[in-house]
Amino acid sequence: MPLLFFEYQNAQSINTGFAMKEKKYFGTDGVRGKVGEYPITADFFLKLGWATGRVFANEGTGFVLIGKDTRISGYMFESALEAGLTAAGVDTRLLGPMPTPGIAYLTRTLRAQAGIVISASHNPYYDNGVKFFSVQGTKLPDDLEKKIESYLDAPMTTVNSAQLGKAQRLDDAAGRYIEFCKSTIPMAMDFDGFRIVVDCAHGATYHIAPHVFEEVGAEVVAIGAEPDGVNINDECGATQPEYLVEKVLAYRADFGVALDGDGDRLIMVDHKGEIVDGDELIYIIAKSRQSTGNLVGPVVGTLMTNLGMEHALKNSGIAFHRAKVGDRYVMELLEAKKGILGGENSGHIICLDRTTTGDGIVSALQIMAEIKNTGKSLHELKSGMQKYPQVLINVKTFKKINPDSDEGLQKAVKEVEKRLGNNGRVLLRASGTEPLIRVMVEGVDAEQVNKSAQELADQVSKAMGA
C-alpha cells in the first residue's frame, strides 16, 4: 500500500517527556502572522517582552539577545520587546540584522539567558514573528514557552526604577558569526578559483554571507543583498531560486547559493542551472560524513522528504527516519536517535556536528568542502540520488478541516492510493506558519502524480465549500 500521512498521526512517534498542553500563541516555530493583525502588533510584543523578562528574571540573572531580519516592521518590534524586557528588569543586547542561526550561536557563546529572533523567515515582508533560543542555542523548551504564555494573560507591571533593565548594541555580532561559520570547515581549505553566486534574499545574511565565502577564497557575485525593508524574499532567495539559476548561467559560476530571509534555509544551483534542493544537499553531506567515518546515527528527514533520498541512503547502508514537518521535530528525532544530520527538502539542514540549529551558510560550506575534497562538481555529487516526481500544492484555507474525518477527501485519497500502487506517497497537512493545507503526491509517473495532486487539491477546496 502507498503511504498516507496526516501530520497529527505522527505526533506520538516522538516522546518529548511531558504531557503536551495546547499553547495559545506559540506554534511549531514561535509566533508568526501578518503585521498589524493580533498578535503581530506592537502592544502584544511589548507584553511578550515583559512576559519573557518575568520568566527569565525568575530563572536567574543575565541578559537576553534580540536580533532581527531586514523587514521594515522589525524596528517596531525590536523597540517593543526591548521596552517590555526593560520593564521586567532584564538587560538586553541588540544585535540588529542577524541570521537566525547567528542568533542561536551568539546566544550560546555569549551565555545569554535567551535569544529572541524577530523574523517571519521565508514569508513576505508584511508578515513577521518571533521565536526564541535557549542558552544552549536550541529552540526554547515547551515548558518555558508555556511559562511565558502564562504571564501574557496577567496584568503588566514595572519593576522599581533602580531595577529596570539596560539595553546596549553589540557592535561585533556580525564579525563573531562570520568567524564561526568559517571555523566549520578546515582552516587550510581554500576555494581560490571558485566562482559562486550568493543570493541573500535581501534578508539577514546580506552583510554576512558574501564575506564568509570571500574570506574562504571564493570569487563571489552577491545578489539579493540590498534590503530596503520590503523586498525581503521578493522573487529571490531559497524560496524562489529561479533568479539564482539565471545568474549562475550568466556568470558561468561553479554553483550558486540561495539563502532565505533569515538565513536558516539553503537551496543551491549547479553549474548547469539545475536546482539542488534540501534532500539532495542532505544526501551529499551524509555521503561525505560516511566516507570519513564521521556519520553518527541515522539521517532524519520529514514526511515531505523525497522517497528517492530514502532509497539512495538505504542503498548506501545509511539508516533513515522520518519526523513530522518542521525543523524542531527533526531536531527532536535526531536527539532521540542520537543522530547528527537531518533536515527538510525546503532547505532546513541541521548539522549537529557543526552547530545547534539549521544554518544555510554552514550547510553551504559543508557542500563546498565536499566539492573541494572530491574534485567533483555539485552536479556530479547529486547524481547518486534520483528524485521521484513530487508535486506540492498549497491550498489556502478560510476554515479548519480535518482530512481524517472528511468522507469526500478520504474517498479521493483512497483512489489516489490505488493508482500509485507500491511506489508512491500521499501527504496532507496543515501548515504550521500559514493558512494553508499542503497537498503532496509522490510517485514514479510524473503525469500521474500531477493529475492526482490536482484532484486532491480540488477536493480540499470542495471540503471547505469553495
The distance of Cα 329 from the centroid of its chain, to the nearest Å, equals 11
Confidence of residue 17 (pLDDT cuts 50, 70, 90): very low
Tell me: pLDDT of 198 over 80.
Answer: yes
**Distance from C-alpha of 98 to C-alpha of 205, rounded to nearest angstrom:** 7
Residue 141 has a pLDDT of 84
Residue in 358, 369, 344 with CA at minimum distance from that of residue 431: 344
Range from 15-29, 94-108, 293-307, 432-446 carrying the lowest mean pLDDT: 15-29
**Distance from C-alpha of 167 to C-alpha of 93, rounded to nearest angstrom:** 6
Residues of the chain with CATH 3.30.310.50: 390-463
Contact assessment for residue 351 and residue 105, using Cβ atoms and an 8 Å cutoff:
no
Contact assessment for residue 208 and residue 220, using Cβ atoms and an 8 Å cutoff:
no
Residues of the chain with CATH 3.40.120.10: 20-170, 191-273, 277-387
Q: Tell me, what DSSP letter sits at residue 358? A: -
Residue with cell 499553547: 23
Per-residue cell: 139: 529552540
Tell me: pLDDT of 155 over 60.
Answer: yes
**DSSP H/E element including 285:** helix 278-291
Residue 397 has a pLDDT of 84
Query: 207-230 as b/e, with b when 16 or more CB fall inside 10 Å?
Result: bbbbbbbeebebbbbbbbbebeee
Cis check: omega of the bond before 39, within 30 degrees of 0: yes
Residue 13 has a pLDDT of 30
Sheet strand arrangement including 114-118: 31-34, 127-133, 114-118, 63-68, 91-97, 167-169
Residue 466 has a pLDDT of 57
Residue in 139, 201, 207 with CA at minimum distance from that of residue 173: 207
Contact assessment for residue 398 and residue 292, using Cβ atoms and an 8 Å cutoff:
no
The class (CATH top level) of 390-463 is: alpha beta
**Distance from C-alpha of 67 to C-alpha of 162, rounded to nearest angstrom:** 26
**Distance from C-alpha of 403 to C-alpha of 409, rounded to nearest angstrom:** 6
The class (CATH top level) of 277-387 is: alpha beta
SS3 300: strand
SS3 445: coil
CB contact set of 192 (below 8 Å; sequence gap of 6+): 217, 218
Q: What are phi and psi of 3, to 5 degrees?
A: -95, 125
Contact assessment for residue 64 and residue 94, using Cβ atoms and an 8 Å cutoff:
no
CATH architecture of 191-273: 3-Layer(aba) Sandwich (3.40)
| Residues with catalytic function | 121
> Is residue 54 exposed (0-12), middle (13-18) or buried (19+ Cβ within 10 Å)?
buried
Residue 432 has a pLDDT of 67
Residue 425 has a pLDDT of 87
Contact assessment for residue 86 and residue 167, using Cβ atoms and an 8 Å cutoff:
yes
Average pLDDT over residues 181-189: 97
- Amino acid in the structure at residue 60: G
Average pLDDT over residues 26-30: 79
Distances in whole angstroms, Cα of residue 261 to Cα of each of 202, 204, 243, 295:
7, 6, 15, 30
Residue with cell 496532507: 428
Q: What are phi and psi of 114, to 5 degrees?
A: -165, 160
Tell me: pLDDT of 449 over 70.
Answer: yes
Tell me: pLDDT of 88 over 80.
Answer: yes
Q: Tell me, what DSSP letter sits at residue 259? A: E
Tell me: pLDDT of 457 over 70.
Answer: yes
Q: Tell me, what DSSP letter sits at residue 265? A: B
CATH architecture of 20-170: 3-Layer(aba) Sandwich (3.40)
Q: Which sign, positive or negative, has the C-alpha torsion 130, 136, 142, 147?
A: negative
Confidence of residue 21 (pLDDT cuts 50, 70, 90): low
Q: What is the DSSP string of 176-224?
A: HHHHHHHTTS-TT---TT-EEEEE-TTSTTTTTHHHHHHHTT-EEEEES
Average pLDDT over residues 31-40: 96
Confidence of residue 1 (pLDDT cuts 50, 70, 90): very low
**Distance from C-alpha of 268 to C-alpha of 237, rounded to nearest angstrom:** 10
Average pLDDT over residues 243-270: 98
**Distance from C-alpha of 126 to C-alpha of 368, rounded to nearest angstrom:** 34
**DSSP H/E element including 245:** helix 242-250
What is the helix, strand, coil percentage profile of the chain, to 5?
40, 20, 40
Per-residue cell: 193: 578559483
**Distance from C-alpha of 351 to C-alpha of 363, rounded to nearest angstrom:** 7
Contact assessment for residue 42 and residue 91, using Cβ atoms and an 8 Å cutoff:
no
105-138 pLDDT, tens digit per residue, is 999 999 999 999 999 999 999 999 999 999 999 9
